[in-house]
């Protein structure tokens, strides 16, 4: 999805270089100003840390270092969520937010490139994540942290908390990806019917050519299915494109080269991980969790549907579990509706850290 946004942005620059680049520079400056941290007890850090034998980028932001820590596992593969930092500004009153550009993505890919990124697999990402958590715990002097895992990040996020529950207060899944092995034919049928209702015959033909079995897909097939799935929900497609375009194009400090590297990292990671992604089944990893388990899913998500997420949630056994649907949100629910999402976090999640919650002005 982000591939299309970046392509449109680059074409626009070629057509209107002066006006668009000036507008972009001004918007980036305004966003950077809004992100400035005035709190004396706050923290803003960005650095490369040696994780899994390579340099990996970690960003830490928060208004009070006494707040609990929330580590974000981004999706993709290779789609860094540090571009969404402005959307999470209100969260920084309540949590110290840690963004990590996984190997094969974002600033980590830009620094290491194809030749030095090493193996990219669920197992390697899980081992990397454990090292990241250990680094964060030592840096911020925390015994446990919260884990927010989104989309592809949720595929190895569940494995991470199953393997090392001692590191976390709770697991929070969003855009929960349970794999493409179960319910795939029904999902395929639903997308095709929505395309038919919209008169999008080209999309129907593309899906029928590719087929519903992901184990034989190429990266182009994967992207084609994702694109037509999004287009089967016109409102959600427009919302997602607007979200991604603004996040990528106006990211503070980003140059056009950074956009190119962002897209290149996603291409590279998908090439490496697609065979494993196509075989992934959340149930096979296990459904018994030793820590509280939360799912906050976009009500209108057509990419990782609430129905499939709920199927998995119903089989989860955990000390505490809760699922909520975020209204008026599809994929990227946390960034489409950050204030509604934050309210869910403050209801049941943050109290698990056993620290008082600061007064937060709710926004609508």
**Helices 219-231, 256-279: inter-axial angle, 10-degree rounding:** 100
* Overall average pLDDT of the 212-220 stretch: 91
Q: Rounded to whole angstroms, what are the CA distances from 197 to 192, 225, 226, 233, 246?
A: 9, 17, 18, 11, 30
Q: Can you give the pLDDT at residue 19? A: 78
- Whether residue 283 contacts residue 275, with contact meaning beta carbons closer than 8 Å, is answered with no
Our measurement of the distance from residue 53's CA atom to the centroid of its chain's CA atoms, rounded to an integer in Å, reads 24
Q: Is position 225 within any domain?
A: no
**Integer Cα distance of 142 and 69 in angstroms:** 8
Residue 5 has pLDDT above 90, yes or no: no
Lowest mean pLDDT across 104-108, 148-152, 245-249 = 245-249
Q: Can you give the pLDDT at residue 360? A: 38
Beta bridge partners of 293: 171, 321
Q: Which of 94, 33, 22 is nearest to 345 (CA)?
A: 94
Q: Can you give the pLDDT at residue 151? A: 96
Lowest mean pLDDT across 86-90, 162-166, 192-196, 242-246 = 242-246
Three-state DSSP state, 264: helix
Determine the structural domain holding residue 154 and report its residue range: 47-176+253-285+292-353
Q: Is position 193 within any domain?
A: no
Phi-psi region of 122 (alpha: psi -120 to 50; beta: other; left: phi over 0): alpha
Phi-psi region of 354 (alpha: psi -120 to 50; beta: other; left: phi over 0): left
pTM summary value: 0.91
Residue 41 has pLDDT above 80, yes or no: yes
Q: Is position 200 within any domain?
A: no
Q: Is position 211 within any domain?
A: no
For 163, half-sphere exposure in the C-beta direction (CA atoms, 13 angstrom radius) is 16
Q: Is position 151 within any domain?
A: yes
3-state percent breakdown (helix, strand, coil) of the chain, nearest 5: 55, 15, 30
Q: Is position 181 within any domain?
A: no
Residue 120 pLDDT class (50, 70, 90 cuts): very high
Q: Is position 75 within any domain?
A: yes
Residue 364 pLDDT class (50, 70, 90 cuts): very low
H or E element, residue 108 = helix 106-116
Q: Is position 104 within any domain?
A: yes
* Overall average pLDDT of the 145-154 stretch: 97
Our measurement of the distance from residue 189's CA atom to the centroid of its chain's CA atoms, rounded to an integer in Å, reads 26
Taking residue 169's Cβ as centre, other Cβ atoms within 10 Å add up to: 23
Q: Indicate which CATH number applies to the domain containing 107.
A: 3.40.50.1820
Residue 185 has pLDDT above 90, yes or no: no
Structurally, how many domains does the chain consist of? 1
* Overall average pLDDT of the 116-139 stretch: 97
Q: Which of 12-26, 110-124, 349-363 has the highest mean pLDDT?
A: 110-124
- 263-282: string of b/e by CB count within 10 Å (b at 16+)? bbbbbbbbbbbbeebbebeb
* Overall average pLDDT of the 180-194 stretch: 89
Residue 228 has pLDDT above 90, yes or no: yes
Please provide residue 356's backbone torsions phi and psi, each rounded to the nearest 5 degrees: -65, 140
Mean pLDDT, the chain, as a whole number? 91
Could you give the percent of the chain with pLDDT greater than 70? 93
* Overall average pLDDT of the 214-230 stretch: 93
Residue 282 has pLDDT above 60, yes or no: yes
Instruction: Quote the tokens at residue 25.
Output: 């520079």
pLDDT tens digit sequence for 238-254: 999 999 989 999 999 99
């Amino acid at each position: 999805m982000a591939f299309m946004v970046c392509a449109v942005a680059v074409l626009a620059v070629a057509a209107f270089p002066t006006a668009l680049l000036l507008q972009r520079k001004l918007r980036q400056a305004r966003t950077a100003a809004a992100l400035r941290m005035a709190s004396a007890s706050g923290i803003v850090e960005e650095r490369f840390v040696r994780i899994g034998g390579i340099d990996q980028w970690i960003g830490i932001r928060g208004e009070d270092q006494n707040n609990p820590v929330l580590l974000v596992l981004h999706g993709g593969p290779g789609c860094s969520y540090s571009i969404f930092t402005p959307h999470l500004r209100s969260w920084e009153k309540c949590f110290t937010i840690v963004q990590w550009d996984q190997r094969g993505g974002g600033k980590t890919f830009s620094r290491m490139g194809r030749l030095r990124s090493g193996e990219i697999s669920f197992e390697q990402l899980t081992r990397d994540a454990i090292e990241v958590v250990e680094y964060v715990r030592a840096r911020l002097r925390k015994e446990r942290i919260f884990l927010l895992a989104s989309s592809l990040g949720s595929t190895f996020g569940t494995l991470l908390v199953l393997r090392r529950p001692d590191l976390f207060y709770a697991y929070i899944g969003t855009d929960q990806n349970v794999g493409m092995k179960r319910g795939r034919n029904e999902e395929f049928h639903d997308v095709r019917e929505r395309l038919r209702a919209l008169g999008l015959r080209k999309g129907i033909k593309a899906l029928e050519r590719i087929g519903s079995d992901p184990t034989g897909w190429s990266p182009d097939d994967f992207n084609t299915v994702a694109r037509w799935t999004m287009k089967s929900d016109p409102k959600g497609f427009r919302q997602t494109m607007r979200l991604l375009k603004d996040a990528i194009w106006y990211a503070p400090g980003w140059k056009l080269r950074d956009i190119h590297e962002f897209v290149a990292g996603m291409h590279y990671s998908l090439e490496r991980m697609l065979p494993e992604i196509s075989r992934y089944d959340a149930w096979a990893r296990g459904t018994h969790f030793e820590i509280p388990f939360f799912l906050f899913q976009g009500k209108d998500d057509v990419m990782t549907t609430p129905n499939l997420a709920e199927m998995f949630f119903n089989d989860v056994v955990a000390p505490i579990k809760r699922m909520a649907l975020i209204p008026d949100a599809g994929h990227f629910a946390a960034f489409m509706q950050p204030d509604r999402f934050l309210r869910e976090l403050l209801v049941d999640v943050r109290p698990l850290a056993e620290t008082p919650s600061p007064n937060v002005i709710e926004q609508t």
